[in-house]
Amino acid sequence: MTATWQLCASCGTETSEIDPHPRCPACRGLLEIRHQPPAAGGNALRAVFDARAGVRHGPLASGVWRFSEVVLPTAGEHILSYPEGNTPLLASAVVARWTGVGATGGGDLLLKHEGQNPTGSFKDRGMTVGVTQARRIKARAVACASTGNTAAALAAYAALAGLPALVMVPKGQVAFGKLAQALAYGARTLVVRGSFDQCLELADQASDRLGVYLLNSVNPFRLEGQKTIVLELLQQLAWQPPAWILVPAGNLGNTAAFGKALREACEWGLIDRVPRLGAVQAAGAAPFAASFREGFARPHRVDAHTVATAINIGNPVSYDRAARAIRDTNGVVTTVTDDEILEAKAVVDAAGIGCEPASAAAVAGARRLVREGVILPGDRVVVVLTGHVLKDPGIVTYYHQERQPAPPYANRPVEIDPRLEEVERVVNA
Ligand code: F0G
């Protein structure tokens, strides 16, 4: 075996890193990427990563490939990078106050804004690695099912690579900005009369039948890229881990990737203490939370219904690896209502930061965990904002202009005739 290989989490089959199957060829279980520990860990490895922080050109300018030793060390000349990553870690007194984090006791809240990636979501971090791998195995085309963001990222990165892309999205359940991106970047777009969960089954079968490389988070190379959200935020905190990392949870790829990143970061001496993971689901799409409450005795499956369309998922594919992530980090899974999501979003948006509804779920989750006494007054909390405010303009219009009665943070536009007195009347009201 080389320094990197693939291992089936179900049956233990090992395959080489350039085996082209997105699932275990023996049992169709989920694969995991394994790396030999880097030659030098701890301080030396931190120093390697830190020395690259200012690089402007080439793959090392990417917030993913900066960590290539622990992502895909052998990708070499195949690397396809926008570049992506290098997203800001923001403080906002307004958002912190709304959540209650740090109200007493010296804790604080930081927002890791993954919406600042090239296509406006964290998916670009997984996609740069996924499409790099597709080039490496000489895939003819790439495909995914998506609630929108994966489709946008796949479409863009496939276009950059000159590969045909096929995306499947659930009809009527994809935010406008995301569908627009898939079309604009030139992906063959199938609007499926069904749910995301049905789209994923279909994409899985179709990729087998048509020999198209599947780039959902089933694909373990995607997760290697998404690990860098955690690595980059740790680096931004000078490798001093926060008490908590909160993330919205749908198909559970990110939760799984975060768990793996933290496990490896500890093993390789990048950090000496593991933050607790908080996975936040929308109450109407919360199979993982239901299962958490039962000590992960069995996976649940639900009919999903939430305004946060990105996480409107009832049968998450990375269930087992995400459960391990929560167990390993002494983490929690919690839920928030659609009203809480929309209020959190209005607060984040009005703070000048902005995010899409699924991202706001994690902010609402912070408030809930503070109120329940799970997040403590002295805790530093990093919330990952997974997507950009412009992804879902429809929900903004609904909240601010259409919802009756006006919700707490509604910013109603006022229509006027073109006369100065009208402006004065509104401004002085
Ligand atoms: N936040 C956003 C903005 C997302 O787009 C997604 C997933 C999640 C959170 C949840 O992450 O699935 O790893 O638990 N979007 C996928 C998609 C499903 O198709 O774009 P997860």
Reported as a pLDDT band with limits 50, 70 and 90, residue 190 is very high
Distance 414 CA to ligand 1 centre (A): 35
The predicted pLDDT at position 154 comes to 98
pLDDT tens, residue by residue, 71-100: 999 999 999 999 999 999 999 999 999 999
* Helices and strands per DSSP (H, E), number in the chain: 14, 13
Distance 206 CA to ligand 1 centre (A): 21
The predicted pLDDT at position 291 comes to 98
Distance 103 CA to ligand 1 centre (A): 30
The predicted pLDDT at position 53 comes to 87
Distance 48 CA to ligand 1 centre (A): 31
Amino acid in the structure at residue 180: A
Which ligand 1 atom is at minimum distance from the Cα of 359?
1
End-to-end CA distance of the chain: 73
Best residue for ligand 1 mutational test, from 30, 114, 121 (most atoms within 8 Å of Cβ): 121
Which ligand 1 atom is at minimum distance from the Cα of 150?
20
Count other C-beta atoms under 10 Å from residue 348's C-beta.
28
The predicted pLDDT at position 4 comes to 95
358 Cβ below 6 A of ligand 1? yes
Distance 308 CA to ligand 1 centre (A): 10
Q: How far apart are CA 331 and CA 388, in angstroms?
A: 26
Q: What angle do CA 317, 364, 414 make, to 5 degrees?
A: 115
229 Cβ below 6 A of ligand 1? no
Residues 6+ apart with CB under 8 A from 304: 195, 196, 197, 284, 285, 312, 313, 314
pTM of the model: 0.98
Distance 137 CA to ligand 1 centre (A): 26
Alpha helices per DSSP H over 1-54: 42-51
Best residue for ligand 1 mutational test, from 142, 147, 321 (most atoms within 8 Å of Cβ): 147
Which ligand 1 atom is at minimum distance from the Cα of 144?
19
Phi/psi of residue 395, nearest 5 degrees: -75, -30
For ligand 1, atom 4: residue with the closest CA: 310
331 Cβ below 6 A of ligand 1? no
pLDDT tens, residue by residue, 155-188: 999 999 999 999 999 999 999 999 999 999 999 9
252 Cβ below 6 A of ligand 1? yes
Q: Is the pLDDT of residue 293 over 70?
A: yes
Distance 427 CA to ligand 1 centre (A): 40
Best residue for ligand 1 mutational test, from 111, 386, 389 (most atoms within 8 Å of Cβ): 386
pLDDT tens, residue by residue, 325-363: 999 999 999 999 999 999 999 999 999 999 999 999 999
Beta-sheet strands, E only, within 337-396: 380-385
The predicted pLDDT at position 32 comes to 97
Best CA proximity match to 33, nearest among 66, 68, 81, 63: 68
Q: Is the pLDDT of residue 151 over 60?
A: yes
Residues 6+ apart with CB under 8 A from 218: 22, 23, 30, 200, 204, 317, 318
181 Cβ below 6 A of ligand 1? no
